[in-house]
Structure 1
């Protein structure tokens, strides 16, 4: 049934109770990013620490979830352990459809359980299962045990953390249905602080589809674009891994802690090499016909009897960059092994890889020693990195506990700030130039998907800081509309404003359809207000020296222009986050 309000389910782990609240404002806040921000404003407190039991962990979906293809993401919102500020992370898998079929627009978890537990929740039930026996278990072992413990296979989504989340790593992720993640800014640590090892969302209800021709026609039109044109084919074929060779050719691929932007070793870790030698199969998030998730196979030998174990590892551009080129790795199978190790600990792959790249250079420069790293770290040496990943996830010593709080925090302690590859958080894999470096450094999620900056850098452009910074603001607002639906950003070419309006109208959300642009701008302002209330100051954000040393296809970085652009964009963000702004 189409509802004008949001149905929000709040679970209090301390009291072991649940309540349901109906929040108005769908035409203004839409869902997803907008609903998550609305929930944090209502249930969160920017003045309290990130790990205070009262702070909410929010999972929100959008009005098109369950009705249209690729509306398959969930927005997770929380106060981040990485920087202590309001944050979002997005993930696919089955989580969005499970929430829809559990009749929730948002799930909000507050409180802290007395002992490690698992939350199982659906349309007609909520159960908190004490599970101290799962604490300390890796992500894979936890998943196997949970699948035996819980009912509802096929309609269930399992969200779980590994040792990194239990130990408060500021970039611990939440694993979603094995191959997807709430990866960035430490959502896994928020679960760990709540003594919450896992959440199982049971999609155990049903809902009718709209009657009449409008919905059927809207679905048919969108589905045809996704499946009968070439608009999405690149995501199914090579996938985002195809960017490896292209960016290497453009001298825009980070190598060895961004000491280089191109290397002939790309042949061993290109998307083409993964597809030829390592690809096992494609799979997809629930509700998606594209199949962009590429699963590689990893073979391990049992030394005792010469038998082999084959494991399946999901790969795409980001983990190949962060655990491949950034670490000087040129063997694709070795990179899959590092991905497997990162998954096991429950670490964000980008932050984990970039952190270890910094540690490798710090060791080379003598800023740290083997007394800190406990294992030799050398670019291209997979075995050393595997051991370090285990230390990082489990916080073995003071050095790894510092590094687990963020590369720049460790770099500040060990005098290695200049070569820390941090743009708000550990960088994404686009050494494309000034536009991207500024965008990721200051943008809301410090994500390459907050704007099209990395794409703009690959084209000739005028160095007009005012024009570029205004473009960042406009681009973010338009993307917020899609992340409030909550759609996959790969489909932004399909889900234009007109098609989103057609889809919303076919479901009866005419007011929301007519209000998309103002809604996107209102959500943008609310998110920045929440971020700044919790301590963010873009004016004083700095871009490390390493980024001024980069050489791309366009030549050396223009440090003066980059600083002008940073100041211009920061001023616009301060204005967006001002309490005096309407909306």
Structure 2
């Protein structure tokens, strides 16, 4: 393979990996890339090709698709890789995004997309060095207690430093916790919806990608000018300043003040002592460095240092722990924890076991309220007595969920939707679309977005932004619905590129058209908008195949009992907004 084959605008190569037979092959797919560009567009169409009717999330035939886009590794903040799979948590569309070095490493290896199928008979890790793929025995690292340790070991034994990415699972993925995550280059993750569980079922402990190819632009002068314009917008206009200074944890104080921060299992929307877990306090007392994904000048990954005693002989260890808003909410306010060091310890425990921290936080909050209401006893919890703010109990509970020593903890490992249907407490199990909520209770926009989103994520449409606009200036429910629809389509295009959504206001339609043109891809703004709608329809086609129906959406009463930023919500109002959305989208016919 020559360098010239890897010139921008795209590689158009798909690497197929078969874990059952330990084989691989490469296919050129210009038909997909020319129409769908890359990222979520290509991944969605490949999933429709590969999916066999009736295949369950953990069946060997169910594929995992990793895909980057035409701007990945080419323009600043285009740093993401999309993972597409069927979620073992809710059975629906599993769509997750991770930064780090993976997108860059894939492109330097000569690929934009990898399709992983089958299941190994024994634990393996797979290495991709340019166009060479190897299957290695992972038995010696399969039962390690920390996903972080796996990365450290593979960095020592495998070549490729500089242009290398290592993604891996921890004990939670091995043991089948349905919301297990995949750790990406230590500080990034495919966090939500259980990709780590799928890796575990396939006996895939890790994937290492390293490459040495070069990317070349057809018109270097035009590309260099466009890159400069985007870079200047990102670093000098203030659009991204928030993400560098405090990161998303800046939202803790803001949402607490606005009464939109879920607290103690959403029994309240603000918490006393919030200053302790604010982004400002973490930055002042614990922040030691900021980390960037490959190709990003921002440095939005905030890493704290925690000094922790591990023996009575005054012996200490220092831990480097990344934090952000969603993690602080999940293991902080939602558990009634306002001690910043306790939050960091809880984050570290989840990181090592390899679980989605948002889901774990919601589940622990539900268990706490269940026990306080007398619906479960210490018989189920193996002696643990849950109370708000109790770090020690929560740390032990995280271990027990992963170890699953009894039926109750095994059920907690299947998510709050499953557990609440079995043990009760559905009315205060704070999930939408079978997915634990990510930390906002701002109003109709947020609840609507989480309910109807293709993956029930706040990143599908950022409905809380619609609520913010409604808070500042009264609007109509129809305009909120229109906002959700427009954002879903726009983000579909951003996720084809694949751009970090923090930079969504940098990569406007106009800038995307120009950025693509400079690397030899001609698209008009209208064509991009049409493509966004097409990708949305394809994703909903997948969702229907996986069993999603709007009429089956559950809206727990807790969302209507606790006032949001924009006031108390009424269930009938939310249902009417969902009906309006369905009608405008025309998705019932899909």
Identify whether the pair has TM-score above 0.5, normalized to the shorter chain: yes
Judge conservation of contact 1:528–1:577 (CA < 8 Å) in 2: no
Q: Which residue of 1 aligns with 2:232?
A: 224
Q: Note the 1:406-417 alignment, pairs <5 A.
A: 406-417=415-426
Judge conservation of contact 2:147–2:168 (CA < 8 Å) in 1: yes
Q: Which residue of 2 aligns with 1:517?
A: 529
Q: Which residue of 2 aligns with 1:14?
A: 20
More off after superposition, 429-438 vs 348-357 = 429-438
Q: Which residue of 2 aligns with 1:125?
A: 132
Whether 2:68 is the aligned partner of 1:61: answer yes
Quote how far apart the aligned CAs of 1:514 are.
6.6
More off after superposition, 481-490 vs 138-147 = 138-147
Question: TM-score, structure 2 length as denominator?
Answer: 0.95
RMSD over aligned CA atoms reads 1.6
Whether 2:67 is the aligned partner of 1:52: answer no
- Residue from 553, 557, 567 that aligns with 2:569: 557
Quote how far apart the aligned CAs of 1:134 are.
1.5
Quote how far apart the aligned CAs of 1:334 are.
0.7
- Aligned mates of 1:436, 1:514 — CA distance in 2: 28
Judge conservation of contact 1:433–1:552 (CA < 8 Å) in 2: yes
Whether 2:260 is the aligned partner of 1:252: answer yes
**Structure 2 segments unaligned to the other structure (5+ residues):** 1-6
- Residue from 301, 315, 320 that aligns with 1:307: 315
Quote how far apart the aligned CAs of 1:571 are.
4.5
Judge conservation of contact 2:15–2:113 (CA < 8 Å) in 1: yes
Judge conservation of contact 1:279–1:297 (CA < 8 Å) in 2: yes
Judge conservation of contact 1:46–1:79 (CA < 8 Å) in 2: no
Q: Note the 1:104-503 alignment, pairs <5 A.
A: 104-137=111-144, 138-374=146-382, 375-424=384-433, 425-458=435-468, 459-460=470-471, 464-503=476-515
What is the CA deviation profile of residues 530-556 of structure 1, one whole-angstrom value per residue up to 9, with x for unaligned ones? 111111112220210000111134332
Against the structure 1 CA distance between its residues 302 and 491, is the aligned structure 2 distance closer, same or farther, given a 3 Å change threshold? Answer: same
Against the structure 1 CA distance between its residues 60 and 46, is the aligned structure 2 distance closer, same or farther, given a 3 Å change threshold? Answer: farther
Quote how far apart the aligned CAs of 1:347 are.
0.3
What is the CA deviation profile of residues 140-190 of structure 1, one whole-angstrom value per residue up to 9, with x for unaligned ones? 222222222211122110100011111111111100001000011100011
Whether 2:587 is the aligned partner of 1:576: answer yes
Quote how far apart the aligned CAs of 1:570 are.
4.1
Judge conservation of contact 2:64–2:116 (CA < 8 Å) in 1: yes
**Structure 1 segments unaligned to the other structure (5+ residues):** none
Quote how far apart the aligned CAs of 1:405 are.
1.1
Against the structure 1 CA distance between its residues 128 and 549, is the aligned structure 2 distance closer, same or farther, given a 3 Å change threshold? Answer: same
What is the CA deviation profile of residues 320-340 of structure 1, one whole-angstrom value per residue up to 9, with x for unaligned ones? 000100000011111000000
SS of corresponding position for 1:510: coil
- Aligned mates of 1:537, 1:576 — CA distance in 2: 10
Quote how far apart the aligned CAs of 1:43 are.
1.8
- Aligned mates of 2:565, 2:74 — CA distance in 1: 43
- Residue from 70, 78, 81 that aligns with 1:71: 78
Judge conservation of contact 1:27–1:515 (CA < 8 Å) in 2: no
More off after superposition, 120-129 vs 176-185 = 120-129
Quote how far apart the aligned CAs of 1:3 are.
5.5
SS of corresponding position for 1:54: coil
Quote how far apart the aligned CAs of 1:370 are.
1.5
Judge conservation of contact 1:67–1:209 (CA < 8 Å) in 2: no
- Aligned mates of 2:197, 2:10 — CA distance in 1: 34
Judge conservation of contact 1:118–1:198 (CA < 8 Å) in 2: yes
Judge conservation of contact 1:418–1:545 (CA < 8 Å) in 2: yes
SS of corresponding position for 1:457: helix
Judge conservation of contact 1:5–1:25 (CA < 8 Å) in 2: no
Against the structure 1 CA distance between its residues 20 and 516, is the aligned structure 2 distance closer, same or farther, given a 3 Å change threshold? Answer: same
Question: TM-score, structure 1 length as denominator?
Answer: 0.96
Pairs aligned (count): 578
Against the structure 1 CA distance between its residues 58 and 170, is the aligned structure 2 distance closer, same or farther, given a 3 Å change threshold? Answer: same
Whether 2:42 is the aligned partner of 1:40: answer no
